[in-house]
């Protein structure tokens, strides 16, 4: 072993050890002390409370390329977000959120239909009537419903026809599961920790 190291410059040896030991150790420490506490990991305890405090509204979605869609007004509007749960360089291993923010003429508020689950079998209901499920606290809070902070919508179904393949909108078991998982992931990844604590933890 000594004969091998004799021919390796000390700088090179340091680089090898730094890459082999230092970087993995750094990733490990970041994952333990940063990402392990970044999100609301106990969100599953509170999703029922959030869902039970929600109700349905009916709106007509804007037409394609309408000025009422925020992404058509402001190119800086975020429509896709990746939540990094660990430092491993693989974005595909981390959950994502898809956002569709728009202005509701009926309610005179900005809403954002959010998906944190698979939406590969859905299509966007331009100009169609939909039932949206919203949270009462969000609807009554003047800090929500603005262009900067749209009201989250975590369940949507078509009124006259399904916006999911195979009429999944009207499959109660499927939609219950869809809504539950969407709410849990919204509370866990998207809702700010300070708000999560205020709305759920401070009541305990």
42-81 pLDDT per residue, tens: 999 999 999 999 999 999 999 999 999 998 887 778 899 9
pLDDT at 188 over 80: yes
Same structural domain for residues 113 and 196? Answer: yes
74-111 pLDDT per residue, tens: 777 889 999 988 766 666 678 899 999 999 999 999 99
Same structural domain for residues 52 and 137? Answer: yes
pLDDT tier at 179, thresholds 50, 70, 90: very high
Average pLDDT over residues 147-156: 96
Question: What domain range includes position 162?
Answer: 40-203
Same structural domain for residues 11 and 79? Answer: no
Same structural domain for residues 19 and 79? Answer: no
Same structural domain for residues 119 and 66? Answer: yes
What global pTM score does this model have?
Answer: 0.80
In whole angstroms, give the CA distance from residue 146 to residue 138: 11
């Amino acid at each position: 072993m000594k004969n091998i190291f004799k021919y390796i410059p000390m700088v090179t040896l340091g680089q090898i050890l730094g890459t082999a030991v230092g970087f993995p150790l750094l990733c490990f420490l970041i994952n333990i002390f940063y990402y392990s506490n970044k999100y609301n990991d106990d969100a599953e305890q509170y999703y029922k409370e959030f869902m039970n405090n929600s109700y349905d509204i009916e709106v007509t979605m804007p037409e394609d390329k309408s000025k009422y869609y925020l992404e058509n007004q402001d190119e800086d509007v975020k429509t896709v977000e990746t939540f990094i749960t660990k430092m491993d360089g693989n974005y595909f291993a981390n959950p994502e959120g898809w956002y569709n923010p728009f202005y509701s003429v009926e309610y005179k508020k900005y809403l954002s239909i959010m998906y944190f689950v698979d939406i590969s079998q859905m299509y966007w209901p331009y100009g169609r009537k939909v039932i949206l499920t919203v949270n009462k606290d969000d609807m009554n809070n003047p800090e929500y419903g603005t262009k900067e902070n749209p009201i989250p919508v975590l369940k949507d179904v078509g009124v006259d026809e399904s916006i999911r393949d195979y009429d999944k909108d009207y499959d109660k078991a499927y939609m219950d599961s869809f809504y539950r998982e969407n709410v849990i992931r919204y509370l866990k990844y998207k809702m700010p920790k300070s708000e999560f604590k205020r709305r759920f933890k401070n009541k305990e």
